[in-house]
Every structure is written in C-alpha cells, then in structure tokens.
Amino acid sequence: MPRFRQFSAVLRRFIVFTPVGAGIFFVALFILMRSLVNRNSYEIVLSCGILLLLLILGIAGFWKSLKLKSMEFGWKPPFPIVAGSGGKSMITGFEEKLPLFFRMHFIVNGRFYPSGNNARDLVKESFFGSGCFMSAETSVSKGETAAELLMDFPMSGVFNGNGFCRLKDIFGFFSFPCGLSVNRTLKVRSSPCFGKNYHINAQSGAEDKRNKTSSDEERYYMREYTPGDRFRDINWKSSDKIETLITRISPDNQEKVSRIEIFFRNYGKAEKPSLESLWLLDRAKARLTHFLRSLMEQHQSKFIFRVSSAVDLRGNNCIWEIENEHDLDVFLEDLAALSFVSPHNEITVPQGTSDMYIFSTACDIVLPVFISMCSPRPVSLFLVQPSLNNKNETETLFKKDFLINGFVPFPRWLFKNKIKQLSVFNSKIDLIYAETRL
C-alpha cells in the first residue's frame, strides 16, 4: 500500500473529531474552566451541557463503529463511465440500524489522471503524484439501505480511488471509521463529440475473406425449394413428412469484408503535459470514438478496424482489431487510459495500398514527416488543433469544472499554455478545434 494511503488510514482511525467538533469541544472546555474560576453558574451549566452532549454522542458513535468494524459494502460504478455525463455509483450494504442522530456516509478519495496522463504512476508510493486529487461523498438517508454517489469527470482519463465509510452525527461533531475500505481503478471515456457521420467506400480497405461456419444446429436452417437449388441439398426426410420440398442451407458462407487501417498518434510531451495538450488528446479520442461508432452502425458486417497507437512504455505494439460491439467496448476502455508518448517511439510506416485514417493532435510535431512517408498511399487525417480565434467551431473545456466537481487541479493548469497550430498538407483533412478556459 502506498505511504500516503497508510498515513490517511491512520488518521481516519484515530481522529474522530471533525474540525467543527474539535472547535466546539475546546471552546466548551475553555468556558468551563473560566466559569469555575469566576464562579459563573450560567456558563458552568452551558459548558457542562455541551460537553455532556459530546460525551453521549461520542460513546454512542464509538460503540456502534466497533460493531460495524467488519461491515462490507458494495460500490458499483456505472459502465461505461463517460466524462461530463454525471454518472452515479450505487453504494449498497447499509442494513444495520444506527443510533439516533447518526447517519452513514460513504467517501471516495483518490487521484485522477486526465487523458490517462502518467497512469503508470498509480504504483508510486508518493502523496504528490502526477494526478490531481479528487474527493466525493454521499450520505445514506434514514431508513434506506443504499445511496447514490455522484462522480462527474470533466474529461477522459484514469481514476484510482479508495472508498470507505464513516459514521457521522447530524450535528457534524464526530466522524467514526467503520467497515472495510475498497480500492477501485476506473477508466473514464471521453465525452462524445457530435460531428458529421462518415461514409467509407467498402473497397477503400484491404480485402479480407472469412468463412462463417454455422453452429451444430445447422439442420434447422432450411427453406422451401426454389428453382435453381441443387437437388443434393434437398432434405428428403423432412420433405416427406410435410409433403413439401425443403432445401438445406450450406453451412459455409464466404463473406467479403474490408480491413480499415487506423492510426491513433498519441505523440507529445510525456512529462508534465499542459492541460491544453491533454484536452487536445481527449478530443482526438472522442473523434476516433465517433468515427468507429458511426461506421459500425452503418456497415456492421462490412468492416474490420485495425487500430494502432504509439508503442507503450514497455516497448509493446498497441494494436486492436475491432469486429463487433464487444471489441469496440474493450478498445474504448483501453483508449481512455492512453497517455502521451515521446515522438522518439515513432511507429514504422506500414506497407500497403489501401486507405489510411490518422487521428492526431497539434502536439504531434513529427506528423508531417510521417504523412510524407506514407505517400502515395491515400491518407485521411483527423487533426485536433488549438483554437486561435473564436470564428471556428470550438470544443471547450472549462477549468472551473475541476473545482466544481471536487477535483484539485495543479496550479500550472490555471495558467494559459499556448500551443502552436501544426502545419500539415494533406488532400483529405478534417480539422477539429479545441481550447481551455477558466
């Protein structure tokens, strides 16, 4: 367990006073001591009443928290988690009766890595990681056994959080630890971009022939005989029973599909990237997601998508083949965690003559060289550029959303970091503009 988690666990176990409760306790104690010196009976009664209330609440809460020490609860995040959608996690397992004036609270503390930025630091034993701190809390209403926890992420990325329960009084004086804590790593997908639908000629990709074999229940796939069917395919036994000629459907059907090659170029500054560059990467992910969904809805069985990204930190090639909705879901979960990679890990230009589809950002400074190396192969480029004026249709990230949703952004993110637009010459180019604002 990382050191900062051990330290926070110790604090949660031994510090049961809230800041308000600690303040009330010391004020009441000071008033009692002063009233005893001055022999002020009114202040003595008032301070003793407050201390007695704190004592009763403390004993009741401490006794109940010991009983709930091994309580297990369920934390079920929504799937998929999409940035800006206001997803709610379901928290269950609160069947125990609580003392009067007490409520159960569920708290999540953790770090959020925007656009998957430096998600490898999840294992670092340091409180000052690369992700921004995030906290969310919900309470269970009286008589209820479950609660909803709102966790709204401003952009895509990876969240690593620790969930735990606290038994709190309604006055806000005490907070007792109870139950077992649980750790979750959540992948947050990009908020959708509502661009135009894309149309691709089925012959633009590399041809890929595949045999589709029917299941063992192929005997049920039959139809009435029509002129032109082969006599050897007639099922004479079934035909004799119903007095109608029945033809077997061949168990092997050959289907032509096109393999579409896509390159997601997540090249850029890998160490301490600016929020502006992370937002550009997020919008590139969103546009790629829209591109894949749009084509799969139009031609679900005609295309096989082969998506490649930059080589990861371990030197492994990141390649996905997407044929159906399940493959797409797996890819989108991996896409959410992709961070910037230094340009020196450039991928080699693949051989072939079919169309290529490239998704990149203005942070990819070696993109023009890569496109020139692809010539004369047809290239369609989707490029996310920083917006330099308000005339263009721009997708905007508001920095204040971090604070509103319980995130603590890095101070450097609050300052504007200008990114130059990338000059790329290509016959087929779709420009997307993005910017950040306070």
Phi–psi pair at 179, nearest 5 degrees: 80, 170
Which carries the bigger pLDDT value, residue 330 or residue 122? 330
DSSP 8-state class, residue 68:
T
Catalogue the long-range contacts made by 143-149 (C-beta closer than 8 Å, 24 or more residues apart): 144/94, 145/92, 145/93, 145/94, 145/95, 146/90, 146/91, 146/92, 146/93, 146/94, 147/91, 147/94, 147/106, 148/88, 148/89, 148/90, 148/91, 149/75, 149/88, 149/89, 149/90, 149/91, 149/106, 149/108
Query: Which tokens belong to 423?
Result: 């000059």
CB 192 within 8 A of CB 332: no
Collapsing DSSP to helix, strand or coil, 404 comes out as: helix
DSSP 8-state class, residue 225:
-
Task: Indicate the pTM of the whole model.
Answer: 0.78
Distance (Å, whole) CA 201 – CA 311: 30
Q: Which H helix or E strand runs over 366?
A: none
Q: Residues near 254 by Cβ (< 8 Å), separated by ≥ 6?
A: 209, 210, 211, 212
Burial class from Cβ neighbours inside 10 Å (0-12, 13-18, 19+) for residue 255 reads: exposed
Question: What are the tens digits of pLDDT across the range 338-366?
Answer: 888 887 656 566 676 778 899 999 998 88
Q: In whole numbers, what is the pLDDT of the chain averaged over residues?
A: 81
pLDDT at 48: 94
Model confidence at 317, pLDDT cuts 50, 70, 90, reads low
Pairing of strands 428-437, 394-398: parallel
Model confidence at 203, pLDDT cuts 50, 70, 90, reads low
Distance (Å, whole) CA 155 – CA 283: 9
Distance (Å, whole) CA 419 – CA 434: 11
How many Cα atoms occupy the beta-carbon half-sphere of 32 within 13 Å?
14
Distance (Å, whole) CA 77 – CA 90: 6
pLDDT at 23: 94
Quickly list DSSP for 90-118: EEE---S---TTEEEEEEEEEEEEETTTT
Least confident range from 38-47, 75-84, 171-180, 296-305: namely 296-305
Burial class from Cβ neighbours inside 10 Å (0-12, 13-18, 19+) for residue 71 reads: middle
Least confident range from 328-332, 354-358, 422-426: namely 422-426
Phi–psi pair at 406, nearest 5 degrees: 90, 20
pLDDT at 346: 61
Query: Which tokens belong to 22?
Result: 């600690």
Q: Check the CA dihedral 393-263-372-367 and report its sign.
A: positive
Q: Sheet containing 146-150: which strands, arranged edge to edge?
A: 74-76, 88-92, 146-150
Distance (Å, whole) CA 376 – CA 371: 10
Query: Which tokens belong to 283?
Result: 């919008």
Percent of the chain with pLDDT over 70: 79
For the chain, domains (ranges, CATH) are 3-189 (2.60.40.1930), 215-250 (no CATH), 259-437 (3.40.50)
Distance (Å, whole) CA 125 – CA 389: 43
Query: Which tokens belong to 3?
Result: 């050191």
Question: What are the tens digits of pLDDT across the range 104-156?
Answer: 999 999 999 987 765 444 444 344 456 789 999 999 988 888 999 999 999 99
DSSP 8-state class, residue 135:
E
Percent of the chain with pLDDT over 90: 36
| 12: nearest Cα among 168, 161, 184 | 168
Which carries the bigger pLDDT value, residue 202 or residue 364? 364
